[in-house]
Amino acid sequence: MKITESVKDNVSQVYIKGRFDAHTCETVDAYIREKMEKGRHQFVLNMEKVPFIDSAGLRVVLVIARDLRGEYQGDLRFAILQPAVNKVFEISGLNNVLRIFDDAETAAQSFSE
């Protein structure tokens, strides 16, 4: 899995590329938590290059979003879900509690609302 970041107006755009599963979830978790510890609390996870997510990936994003909301008044938001990933978000009910956007710019702007 490859992870990169760009920051604009205090919003961290995190781009991940590859399968988000039991073999990669710790990498994503550690990457975002390291940024959290450094004071970053507004994240957009750009999922354009993520073709697959399993229960391990779902749990990681849910727990990070919960911690950001509860401890830092921040959030983890999502941009550009691939159809299969979007369907898994729906089936698992994550789309009811996480904010998902069609493009990264709108997702980032949502923190200014």
Partner 1 sequence: MYVRFWGVRGSIAAPLTNEALSAKIEAAVKLALKAGLTDDWQVSEFIKELPWHVRQTAGGDTACIEIQAGGKLLILDAGTGFRRLGLDLIQRSMGSPIEAHILITHTHWDHISGIPFFAPAFMPDNALTFYSPYSGLEDRLNHQQNPEYFPVPLAPAFKFVHLNERERFQIGDVTVETFPLNHPGGSYSYRITQDDKMFIYATDSEYQGLSADSLKPFADFFNGADLLIFDAQYTMLENVEKENWGHSNVFTGIDMALEAGVKRIAFTHHEPAYDDEKLGEILHKAKEYLNINQPEAGLQLYLASEGFSMTL
Query: Which is closer to partner 1, CB of 85 or CB of 108?
Result: 85
Query: Which is closer to partner 1, CB of 64 or CB of 108?
Result: 64
Query: Which is closer to partner 1, CB of 53 or CB of 108?
Result: 53
Contact partners, residue 40, CB within 8 Å, separation at least 6: 7, 10, 12
Helix runs in 1-113, H state only = 25-37, 55-72, 83-92, 104-109
Token pair in block for residue 77: 């938001």
Where in 43-102 is the site for partner 1 (CB under 8 A)? 52, 54-56, 58-60, 62-63, 66, 84, 87-88, 91-94, 96-97
- The C-alpha atoms of residue 39 and residue 103 are separated, in whole angstroms, by 25
Interacting residues toward partner 1 by CB under 8 A: 21-23, 25-26, 52, 54-56, 58-60, 62-63, 66, 84, 87-88, 91-94, 96-97
